[in-house]
C-alpha cells in the first residue's frame, strides 16, 4: 500500500468483531489441509493481526520462516506486537516481495491464505500468479476464503439499501465469492494442479450486533463513499432487514459463512 492510500482496516475493530476468523475451531480444517512441517518456508497472504501467523511461525521453528503479508499497516502493526517476525505491506493483487525478502522468490514450500481472497475481486488471478512465482516446484498453495453463497442474506440486504438510494451495488460490492469449480479453473489457468476445492457452509455466531460486523467489513468498502450519518442509517437498515433471519430468540446474531477451501500444487 502506497503512503497516499487510505488504510481502511482497523485492527481494534477486527479483533473485537471478527476474532472468530482466527479461532482454533475455525482454522483447524484449513490447517489440516496445509499439513505444515517444521523447518518449512511459508508466506501468509492476508495475515491480518497475526494471531494465526504467529502460531504457524512458532510451529515452523528456528529452521523455518514465515513471512506475513497484508494490505493494512494498522493490521501489520498489531501482528508485529503479537510477535510476527517477518512481514511487509502489499496488496495481494499486486504482490511483489520487497528487497529484503526478494531472495526467497521461488523457494517457499507453501503459500497460505485465510479469509483474504474474497477481498481480491479486482483481479483474483493476479494473486494466483504471484503464489506460483513465490513457490518452489512442487510447492503448495493452500487457502480458505468466502465462497459461493457466503454472507447470504446480509449481502442482498446491502444491495437493497444501495439500490434504494439510486446506487449501483455491483461496483460497490467489494466481495468475490466464487463456486469451487470456478476457482479451480482460475488456479488451473495459472499452471496449478488442483488437488482439492470444496465449499463448506458454516453458521457463525457473531460476538456482538450485526452492526458491528458491518462497521468492520462494509463501512470502509461498500459504504466507503458515504458520510458517517449516511453509513449509520444504511447499516441500521441492513440489520433491520436481516433481523428476522439472523437474530435468535436470546438476542444473539449469526451469519451464514460459506468457506471455499483449496489445495493446489505448482508442478515440478
What structural domains and CATH numbers belong to the chain?
11-150+175-206+258-265 (3.40.50.150)
Cell of 91: 496488496
239-260 average pLDDT score: 98
> Taking a C-beta distance cutoff of 8 angstroms, is the pair 113, 187 a contact?
no
Task: Please state the φ and ψ torsions of residue 267, each to the nearest 5 degrees.
Answer: -60, 150
Q: Which residues is 255 bridged to in the sheet?
A: 204
Predicted confidence band at 1 (pLDDT cuts at 50, 70, 90)? very low
- Residue whose grid cell is 495459472: 190
Backbone angles phi, psi at 257, to 5 degrees: -95, 140
Tens-place pLDDT, residues 216-236 = 999 999 999 999 999 999 999
246 pLDDT exceeds 80? yes
C-alpha 58, offset from chain centre = 21
pLDDT top residue among 160 and 15: 160
pLDDT tier for residue 24 given thresholds of 50, 70 and 90 = confident
pTM of the model: 0.94
pLDDT at 146 over 80: yes
Cβ atoms within 10 Å, residue 163:
11
pLDDT of residue 97: 96
Question: From CA 260, how far away is CA 69, in angstroms rounded?
Answer: 20
* CA distance readout (Å), 128 to 120, 124, 163, 243, 252: 11, 7, 33, 37, 37
CA distances from 45 to 167, 237, 247 (A): 32, 33, 33
What cell numbers appear for 246 in the block?
439472523
Pick the closest to residue 222 from 61, 36, 8 (CA basis).
8
Looking at every residue in the chain, the average pLDDT score rounds to 95
What percent of the chain has a predicted confidence (pLDDT) above 90? 90
How many Å apart are CA 234 and CA 231, to the nearest integer?
5
pLDDT of residue 3 exceeding 60: no
In percent, how much of the chain has pLDDT > 70? 98
Q: CB of 169 within 8 A of CB of 131? A: no
- Give residue 201's pLDDT: 98
Please give the Cα distance from 39 to 159 (Å, whole number): 46
Mean pLDDT of 77-96: 97
pLDDT, position 223 = 97
Amino acid at each position: 500500500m502506497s503512503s497516499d492510500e487510505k488504510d481502511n482496516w482497523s485492527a481494534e475493530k477486527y479483533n473485537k468483531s471478527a476474532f472468530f476468523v482466527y479461532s482454533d475451531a475455525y482454522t483447524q480444517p484449513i490447517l489440516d489441509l496445509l499439513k505444515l512441517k517444521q523447518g518449512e518456508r511459508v508466506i501468509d497472504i492476508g495475515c491480518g493481526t497475526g494471531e494465526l501467523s504467529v502460531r504457524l511461525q512458532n510451529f515452523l521453528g528456528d529452521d523455518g520462516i514465515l513471512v506475513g503479508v497484508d494490505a493494512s499497516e494498522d493490521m501489520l502493526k498489531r501482528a508485529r506486537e503479537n510477535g510476527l517476525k517477518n512481514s511487509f505491506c502489499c496488496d495481494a493483487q499486486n504482490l511483489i516481495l520487497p528487497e529484503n525478502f526478494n531472495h526467497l522468490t521461488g523457494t517457499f514450500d507453501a503459500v497460505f491464505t485465510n479469509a483474504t481472497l474474497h477481498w481480491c475481486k479486482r483481479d483474483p488471478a493476479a494473486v494466483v500468479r504471484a503464489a506460483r512465482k513465490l513457490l518452489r516446484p512442487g510447492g503448495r498453495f493452500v487457502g480458505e476464503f468466502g465462497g459461493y453463497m457466503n454472507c447470504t442474506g446480509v449481502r442482498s440486504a446491502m444491495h437493497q439499501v444501495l439500490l434504494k438510494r439510486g446506487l449501483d451495488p455491483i461496483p460497490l460490492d467489494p466481495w468475490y465469492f466464487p463456486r469451487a469449480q470456478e476457482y479451480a479453473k482460475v488456479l488451473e489457468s495459472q499452471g496449478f494442479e488442483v488437488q482439492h476445492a470444496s465449499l463448506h457452509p458454516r453458521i457463525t455466531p457473531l460476538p456482538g450486533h450485526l452492526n458491528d460486523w458491518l462497521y468492520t467489513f462494509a463501512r470502509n468498502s461498500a459504504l466507503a463513499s458515504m458520510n458517517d450519518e449516511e453509513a449509520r442509517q444504511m447499516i441500521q437498515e441492513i440489520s433491520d432487514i436481516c433481523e428476522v433471519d439472523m437474530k435468535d430468540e436470546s438476542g444473539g446474531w449469526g451469519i451464514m459463512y460459506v468457506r471455499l477451501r483449496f489445495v493446489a500444487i505448482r508442478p515440478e
